[in-house]
């Protein structure tokens, strides 16, 4: 939560206009080729995430994980933020939800898991507005006792993306059914819509959270708070709304920024 010392800078920008709410955004660490070597470790992020935040009226703060994440560091980082955006990335280490690796996980990073689990639990304790996307939604589930399916079940009817060109992957769609009255349905003003298909694992058990959207075979596509965290303005979606040209998907970012603005006030 904000301290008295930073209240004034947040209150207004030049000309007296209200300052945009600050949305903390998590990047993903990858080894990529650069002039310094074939595997240069970089913190990376698709600019679509921060573009959507900016379009919704927010100020994105991209914050990589510290070398030694701990609760105090997580609290200090969230003190800077009015909202949290958990982005996509590699697979969650099965050890994080008490499972063994069945051979289908890729690009795991236990340090990233620990940091993001810490952030999301602290965000829940503060009731900090949160949007969790793809891996972020999976982290959200694991944070509250859920577990993941390390491969998509056949009845999910998701197309195998192996061998497809990038444009074909981005264009691929599948239908999801949204629970009437849920936050995700109200934000998107829909009970059924087409979303993209850019994941090879899934949420098998939502833990203490509620399921608010499903695909074929009952595959979990969205999560919302329930029980002890009821009232927390959070939505987790398995698809990537930031990568979709359909205008309706912008509503998820608008909801996050609007809730962050209220939270700050």
Would you name the residues annotated as active-site residues?
A: 134, 240, 242
Instruction: Decide: helix, strand or coil at residue 236.
Output: strand
Q: Write down the H helix ranges in the chain.
A: 4-11, 47-55, 71-78, 110-126, 135-143, 166-171, 183-188, 250-264
Contact 54, 25 (CB under 8 A): no
Segment (H or E) for 213: strand 210-214
Q: What length does the chain have?
A: 265
How far is it, in rounded angstroms, from Cα 227 to Cα 197? 30
How far is it, in rounded angstroms, from Cα 104 to Cα 260? 36
């Amino acid at each position: 939560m904000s301290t008295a010392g930073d209240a004034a800078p947040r209150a207004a920008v030049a000309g007296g206009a209200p300052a945009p709410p600050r949305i903390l955004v998590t990047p993903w660490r990858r080894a990529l080729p650069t002039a310094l070597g074939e595997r240069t470790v970089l913190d990376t992020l698709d600019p679509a995430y921060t573009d959507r935040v900016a379009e919704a009226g927010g100020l994105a703060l991209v914050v990589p994980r510290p070398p030694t994440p701990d609760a105090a560091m997580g609290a200090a980082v969230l003190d800077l933020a009015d909202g949290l955006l958990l982005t996509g990335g590699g697979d969650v280490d099965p050890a994080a939800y008490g499972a063994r690796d069945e051979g289908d996980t890729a690009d795991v990073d236990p340090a990233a898991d620990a940091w993001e689990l810490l952030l999301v639990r602290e965000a829940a304790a503060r009731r900090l507005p949160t949007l969790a996307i793809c891996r972020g939604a999976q982290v959200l589930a694991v944070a509250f006792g859920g577990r993941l399916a390390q491969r998509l079940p056949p009845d999910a009817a998701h197309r195998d993306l192996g061998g497809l060109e990038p444009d074909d992957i981005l264009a691929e769609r599948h239908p999801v059914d949204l629970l009437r009255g849920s936050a995700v349905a109200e934000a998107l003003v829909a009970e059924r819509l087409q979303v993209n298909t850019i994941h090879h694992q899934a949420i098998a058990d939502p833990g203490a959270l509620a399921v608010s959207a499903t695909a074929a075979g009952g595959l979990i596509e969205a999560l919302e708070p329930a029980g002890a965290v009821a009232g927390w303005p959070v939505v987790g979606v398995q698809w990537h709304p930031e990568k979709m040209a359909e205008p309706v998907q912008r509503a998820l970012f608008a909801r996050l920024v609007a809730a962050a603005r209220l939270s700050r006030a």
